[in-house]
Structure 1
Amino acid sequence: MNTNTLNAMTVDVEDFFHVSAFESVISPDNWQQFKPRVDINTRRLLDLFASHNVKSTFFVLGWVAERYPDLIKEIHQQGHEIASHGYAHQRATKQTPEVFKQDVLRSLNHLEDLLGEKILGYRAPSFSIGYTNEWAFEILAELGFKYSSSTYPVKHDLYGTPDWPRFAYQRKEGITEIPIPTHRVLGRQTPIGGGGYFRLYPYALTKFLVKSYLKKEQQPYSFYFHPWEIDENQPKVAGASAKSNFRHYINLDKTYGKLDKLLDDFSWDTMRNVYNITVD
Structure 2
Amino acid sequence: MTSKYCLLTNDVETTSIWLNKLRDATGLKVWKEGMPVLLDIYDHYNIKSTFYVTGHIASLYPGIIKMIVEKGHELGSHSWSHEKHHGLDVLDYNGQLDQLIRSKKLLEDISGQEVISFRSPALRLNQHSARAIIDAGYKTDSSVASQRFDMFMSFGGLKKLKWLFAPRLPYRVKETNIFKKGNSSLIEVPLSATFLPYVATTMRVFPEITAFQRHLLNMESKINGKPIVFDIHPNEFIDESDEPREISRRSSNPVSYFLQDFVRSKLKVKNLGGKAIPLYEKQIKFFKNRGYKFTTVRGYCEENGLLIN
TM-score w.r.t. the length of structure 2 is: 0.77
From the superposition, tell whether residues 182 and 216 of structure 1 become closer, same or farther in structure 2 (CA, over 3 Å).
farther
Distance apart, 1:264 and its partner CA: 2.3
1:248 aligns with 2:278: no
Which residue is 1:187 aligned to?
none
Distance apart, 1:198 and its partner CA: 1.9
Provide the identity percentage: 25
- Indicate if the aligned counterparts of 2:8 and 2:231 stay in contact, CA closer than 8 A: yes
1:201 aligns with 2:207: yes
- Indicate if the aligned counterparts of 1:192 and 1:198 stay in contact, CA closer than 8 A: no
Q: Distance in 1 between matches of 2:11 and 2:67?
A: 16
Residues 33-76 of structure 1: CA deviation (Å, up to 9, x unaligned): 66731112011111110011000000011111112212211211
Distance apart, 1:9 and its partner CA: 0.9
From the superposition, tell whether residues 93 and 201 of structure 1 become closer, same or farther in structure 2 (CA, over 3 Å).
same
From the superposition, tell whether residues 144 and 251 of structure 1 become closer, same or farther in structure 2 (CA, over 3 Å).
same
Give secondary structure in 1 for the equivalent of 2:28: coil
Which of residues 238, 246, 249 is equivalent to 1:238? 246
Q: Distance in 1 between matches of 2:27 and 2:190?
A: 33
Distance apart, 1:166 and its partner CA: 1.7
TM-score w.r.t. the length of structure 1 is: 0.84
From the superposition, tell whether residues 248 and 208 of structure 1 become closer, same or farther in structure 2 (CA, over 3 Å).
same
Distance apart, 1:213 and its partner CA: 2.9
From the superposition, tell whether residues 155 and 207 of structure 1 become closer, same or farther in structure 2 (CA, over 3 Å).
closer
Residues 2-27 of structure 1: CA deviation (Å, up to 9, x unaligned): x962211100011333x7x94xxx4x
Give secondary structure in 2 for the equivalent of 1:144: coil
Aligned pair count?
Answer: 261
Distance apart, 1:172 and its partner CA: 3.1
Q: Distance in 2 between matches of 1:215 and 1:35?
A: 39
Which residue is 2:121 aligned to?
125
Give secondary structure in 1 for the equivalent of 2:76: strand
From the superposition, tell whether residues 237 and 125 of structure 1 become closer, same or farther in structure 2 (CA, over 3 Å).
farther
Within-5 A mapping of 1:95-114: 95-114=91-110
Residues 69-119 of structure 1: CA deviation (Å, up to 9, x unaligned): 122112112110000001111321122322222111111110111122211
User: Which moves more between the two structures, 233-242 or 113-122?
Assistant: 233-242
Q: Distance in 1 between matches of 2:169 and 2:235?
A: 27
- Indicate if the aligned counterparts of 1:192 and 1:209 stay in contact, CA closer than 8 A: no
Which gives a bigger RCO, structure 1 or 2 (Cα 8 Å, sep 6+)? 1
Structure 2 gaps, min length 5: 176-183, 249-260
- Indicate if the aligned counterparts of 2:10 and 2:51 stay in contact, CA closer than 8 A: yes
1:48 aligns with 2:41: yes
Which of residues 60, 70, 92 is equivalent to 1:77? 70
- Indicate if the aligned counterparts of 2:28 and 2:61 stay in contact, CA closer than 8 A: no
- Indicate if the aligned counterparts of 1:120 and 1:279 stay in contact, CA closer than 8 A: no
From the superposition, tell whether residues 44 and 8 of structure 1 become closer, same or farther in structure 2 (CA, over 3 Å).
same
Q: Distance in 2 between matches of 1:181 and 1:236?
A: 35
Which amino acid is the alignment partner of residue 179 of structure 1? P
Distance apart, 1:182 and its partner CA: 2.4
- Indicate if the aligned counterparts of 1:42 and 1:227 stay in contact, CA closer than 8 A: yes
Which residue is 1:225 aligned to?
232
Q: Distance in 2 between matches of 1:279 and 1:230?
A: 36
Distance apart, 1:126 and its partner CA: 1.0
1:257 aligns with 2:278: yes
1:179 aligns with 2:190: yes
Give secondary structure in 1 for the equivalent of 2:52: strand
Residues 134-182 of structure 1: CA deviation (Å, up to 9, x unaligned): 2111011111100111112322123422112122100133211112122
- Indicate if the aligned counterparts of 2:30 and 2:238 stay in contact, CA closer than 8 A: no
- Indicate if the aligned counterparts of 1:7 and 1:274 stay in contact, CA closer than 8 A: no
